[in-house]
Amino acid sequence: DKGRGRPEMEMATVAAPAAGRSGGATTASGEYWSEALKSFLDHIPVSSLSGALQSSPSPALELNLDACVLDAIGSMRPANAGGAVIVDEVHRSLGKFVDRDIGYVDLPSLVLWALEELDRVSTERQDKSSDFLSSLKLHPQIAETKIAWLAKLFLLEPFFPVRSHDTLFHAMLLFSKHHRLNVIPVVESVNSSVDGFVTQNAVMELLLQSSGLEWLDKIADKQLSVFRFANASKPVLVYSDEIVAYAFGVLSKEKTGVAVIDRKTRRLIGMIQCSDVYLLLDDSSLFSNRKIMSAEEFVKLKNKDDKCSTEHSSESEGQSVPSLRSRVQQPVVTHRRSDTLKQAMENLAASGSSCSFIVDEQGHVEGVVAPRDIISVFSPPCMDSRIDGGTFFSAALEQAGCRVENGQIIRNT
């Protein structure tokens, strides 16, 4: 049943244009599908997304702006939290019109930054004799770095909350306009506690529930080769014989999945992504050997660990807090240019991976597809943007740094 689990909205169906109209038939048809898509997305509340709401008290971890790196990692790791909301209690006292929540920091970014700093100062002896947190404590200039200082390095994500009655269209607009935005907090009012999070994977999974609707399939059934991101996105590569420390250093700068390829054949053998940092936190021997272990050895160890991690997968299903160990991940997700966008959506959603790689017949990496790329396909300005605005849309445009002018969405300069 294709309709099972699909959000029920009275405006989801739009009358088709009359056939046989003279002149502009193709344009009219294109405008119809764009309007149908916009109408559908504009009538799905954020509350329909998995993880957007939690009945219990605020599920989000909070960190004060004055917290240090060691405290932040120490708080998030035991909770299996992928990130935390940054709050500024000092400025909150100035009045109700001052934002209390000012940002979001994800645990992988903190760990990757700390690893890079440790590799600059740590001795070989210290690396082999301690785990990550112990090594961090040996270097207070790193461990005691304030979260506020890290904001200068753009390690914090912007805080653009939505309310439960805002729409999927609103959330997709924010994701497509802000490339550093990976999660969107859900709140009920200004300066209230965070009730949950909208993730890119949750958006993609909800779109997939609409599979079978003609206006969505007209986009999703196209081959990847026709989309701009499939040709413009350059994959980040490391060789399989390069050390893990180097691979994580590359990951720290790029933040997307790193493809691990064989040096001789240049074939893809695996990937390393931000969520893999939990292995360095959990395994002291892996942490201490990161400068001698190859990327290929790490990939094999990770794949073995993923197969044994079904417990975390079942426990975290449906959580409203982004988790570090969110689900069992496939070793690597690949596609051909001839695969459809819908196939990429299904495989990414099922795997929980941060991206998939486009490969040729020899297994050589040609491109990369991330959930944000897919969301952007269904978001303005990719769609026909001739809209009349509206309260929620005006607020979304303001947050995104855009405006509507002559019926078109324009980025503010």
* Residues 60 and 185 sit within 8 Å (Cβ to Cβ): yes
Number of neighbours of residue 199 by Cβ within 10 angstroms: 23
Query: What pLDDT was estimated at residue 193?
Result: 77
- Residue 65's Cβ-side half-sphere holds a number of Cα atoms within 13 Å equal to 15
Residue 246: per-residue pLDDT = 95
Structure tokens, 55: 């009945």
Q: Tokens 């929980």 correspond to what residue?
A: 352
Q: Is the peptide bond before 59 cis (omega within 30 degrees of 0)?
A: no
| pLDDT of 249 | 93
What CATH superfamily is the domain 43-89+98-210?
CBS-domain (3.10.580.10)
| DSSP β-ladder status, 365-369 and 356-359 | antiparallel
Confidence at residue 19, expressed as pLDDT on a 0 to 100 scale: 39
Instruction: Give the pLDDT score at 35.
Output: 67
Distance CA 346, CA 323 (A): 21
Question: What per-residue confidence (pLDDT) applies to 14?
Answer: 35
* 170 contacts: CB under 8 Å, gap ≥ 6: 46, 162, 392, 393, 395, 396
Alpha carbon separation from 90 to 63, 70, 86, 100, 271 (Å, rounded)? 13, 21, 12, 9, 42
Q: How long a stretch of residues is the chain?
A: 413
Q: For residue 351, is it left (φ>0), alpha (ψ between -120 and 50) or beta?
A: alpha
Instruction: Report, in angstroms and rounded to the nearest whole number, the Rg of the chain calculated over CA atoms.
Output: 22
The encoded tokens of residue 187 equal 């709140």
Question: Tell me, what's the pLDDT at 229?
Answer: 81
Q: Which residues pair with 78 in a beta bridge?
A: none
Residue (of 329, 333, 323) closest to 305 by Cα position: 329
Using CA atoms, how far apart are residues 8 and 15, in angstroms rounded to an integer?
A: 17
190, HSE (Cβ side, Cα atoms, 13 Å): 6
* Residue 276: both structure tokens together: 């893999």
H/E run at residue 58: none
Class of domain 224-306+327-378 as given by CATH: alpha beta
Q: End-to-end CA distance of the chain: give it in Å, rounded.
A: 47
- Measured in degrees and rounded to the nearest 5, phi and psi for residue 154 equal 60, 30
Place of tokens 């506690």: 193
- pLDDT attached to residue 79: 85
- Give every residue of the chain whose pLDDT is below 70, as ranges: 1-36, 53-59, 89-101, 122-129, 154, 190-192, 230-233, 305-330, 380-411, 413
How many whole angstroms separate alpha carbon 334 and alpha carbon 354?
12
Pull the structure tokens for residue 29.
């048809």
All CATH 3.10.580.10 domain ranges in the chain, comma separated: 43-89+98-210, 224-306+327-378
pLDDT at 11: 34
